[in-house]
Structure formats: structure tokens, C-alpha cells
Structure 1
């Protein structure tokens, strides 16, 4: 069976999208779904190619038990739109950038990550890069909420899938 594939996207792929990748990976593993889903993250810009996630992002994530140390920034490319079943943007600006790159036939897979959230009434994950320290905690709060929603969606999808 082909794995369901999800790509997380933000601007530089060093704060929000690697956080979302790591959080979802941990939540899927805890739910026993880790082997059924392929995950990755990418940026819509090439500012930080090959770099590890921002040290502040890593520090805050580590405090909650998420390890981002092995992740490296990359830029989203055209093949990603056929490889991934779901391409999730952290905010509207990045969703627009992804929409401009995405072939029309694959546009249905583009969504905002926060469309899966149930506890926070926000439609975007704010970029913490130039903000205060509490921004990194807010990103984690929002991402954990949305990832719980994704796990619920995948449980339903995989349960209803033909054997």
C-alpha cells in the first residue's frame, strides 16, 4: 500500500514547517500510524538551503520532546505536487506562493495547516523568526493542535480505506 504523503511548507523551512514535520511525525508514531505516512517539509524561498532549523526553534521543540536536529532546509519543487497527497502551508502568503507553482490538476491538495485545528481559532501559524520568544511557543501550540486534527483525519481515512 502506498503511504499517504504530507508536505509542510513555510517560507524558509527553518522554523514552522520543520516544527510541523517533527510534531506530526511524533504524533503519528504515538498513534501507531508512523509507518503509513511519509512526511517532509520545504520552504517557498531558498534563503536557508541545507541549513538545520533555527536554534530557537530546535530549543523550544526539544523542551516538548520533538527532535528537529536531523532536518535540513530545502525549497519546494514541482515534483512535490505529484509526490505528496497533502501540501500544507503555514500561512496565506505561502499558500499563494504554492498555488502559483502548483499545476492546476494538483491544486486540491493545497491547504492551510490550521484548517485541521480544533482548539485554536486561527487560520495561520505566525512566523516567529523576527518576533519574541513566546512566538516559538505559540507555533508549537498551534502546530500540535493542527497535527492532532491531521492524525484524526488519517485514522478515519485509513480505517475507511479498502483492504
Structure 2
């Protein structure tokens, strides 16, 4: 069975990328696609190694039914560029940093998460860390929207891959 792997990336891997990780994982599981779609997250910086997501991110996500408590922060690794089919960054700085760290052959895998938004029109998922509650809600609004579009995209990729290489 073909699998597809998605890595979400923000700066410290404690607010935006674990939120996207948790939301997308929830949506993947709800459709029974956990064996086909792998989900992970990382940060461009190693500010919070092995820390759980920010308590505010966890609280806001929990109110919408997403559990982030099992996730732990880590820095993006060289191996991630090879291992993942799609690397989705939260903003322009994350995009530049991820591209500067990755071999050029993997640059096409690195995209902004908001490219998958279906209802919202935002070039980035803004960092809520230094803001108030509204910022965390805005992150969830953008992430939920983008994850819906992303899920459709990944399902199309899996279907196309399955048509190209039928199992024998």
C-alpha cells in the first residue's frame, strides 16, 4: 500500500506546527487513513527540544476536539527532507529556512500550508506566541481550513499513485 508523509514546520514546534499536526492527524484518523497518511511536525529552531505544545495551543485545540498532548517539539533534520512527501511551513521565514537547509532536489516538496486553504485567503499562518487568545483561534481557523484542502490533495495523490502502480 502506498503511503504519503506530511511534515508541518514552524519556528519552535510548540504552537503552529503541532496544531497543524494534531488537526491533520485527527482528520486522517476520522477517515480511517492512518495507515496511508503519515503525519509529523518539527521546528526550524531547536528552542524547545522534547517539550509539549504550548499550553495555550493545547487548550484552544482541545476546545475544538483536538488532542495535542502526546506531541513533542523537535528540530527539523536533514533526513526529514528525504523522508517526507510534503513539507508544509507556516510562514515566509520558515519557508526560507527550510529551503536553505534542504538539498535543492527537495525544494518542490516545501510549500506553505496556507496554499491549501479553501475558504481563507492568507499567505501565512501567523505566530500566536506573543499574542492573546484570538491569535490561537485564528491559527486554528486557518489550519482547519488548510487541512481540509490538504486532505483532498493527499487523497488525490494516493489515488493517482495507486492507478499508476497496481499491486500484484
**Fold similarity call, TM over 0.5:** yes
**What corresponds to 1:123 in structure 2?**
123
Residue aligning to 2:32: 32
Which deviations, in whole Å up to 9, do the C-alpha atoms of 1:18-62 show, x marking residues without a partner?
000010011111223222011100000011011000000000000
Q: What secondary structure, in the 3-state scheme, does the structure 2 residue paired with 1:35 have?
A: coil
**Aligned residue number for residue 98 of structure 1:** 98
- Provide the rounded CA distance (Å) in 2 between the counterparts of 1:158 and 1:35: 12
1:41 aligns with 2:41: yes
State the Cα deviation string for residues 44-90 of structure 1 (Å, max 9, x = none): 00110110000000000000010000100000011100000000000
Q: Do 2:4 and 2:158's aligned partners in 1 also have CA atoms closer than 8 Å?
A: no
CA shift for structure 1 position 2: 4.0
SS in 2 for 1:61: helix
Counterparts of 2:104 and 2:4 in 1: how far apart (Å)?
A: 20
- Cα distance per residue 1:105-158 (max 9 Å; x no partner): 111100000000010010100000001111000000000000000111122222
In structure 2, the partner of 1:142 is 142
2:159 equivalent to 1:159 = yes
- Across the aligned residues of Structure 1 and Structure 2, the Cα RMSD in angstroms comes to 0.9
How far apart, CA to CA, are the structure 2 residues paired with 1:77 and 1:132? Answer: 31
Counterpart in the other structure of 1:80: 80
Gaps of 5+ in 2: none
Corresponding residue of 1:16: 16
Contact kept? 2:20, 2:143, Cα under 8 Å: yes
Q: How many positions carry a matched residue from both structures?
A: 163
| Structure 1 Cα separation of the partners of residues 83 and 97 of structure 2 | 18
Q: Is structure 2 residue 73 aligned with structure 1 residue 53?
A: no
Which TM-score applies when normalising by structure 1? 0.97
Structure 1 window deviating more from structure 2 (7-16 vs 32-41): it is: 32-41
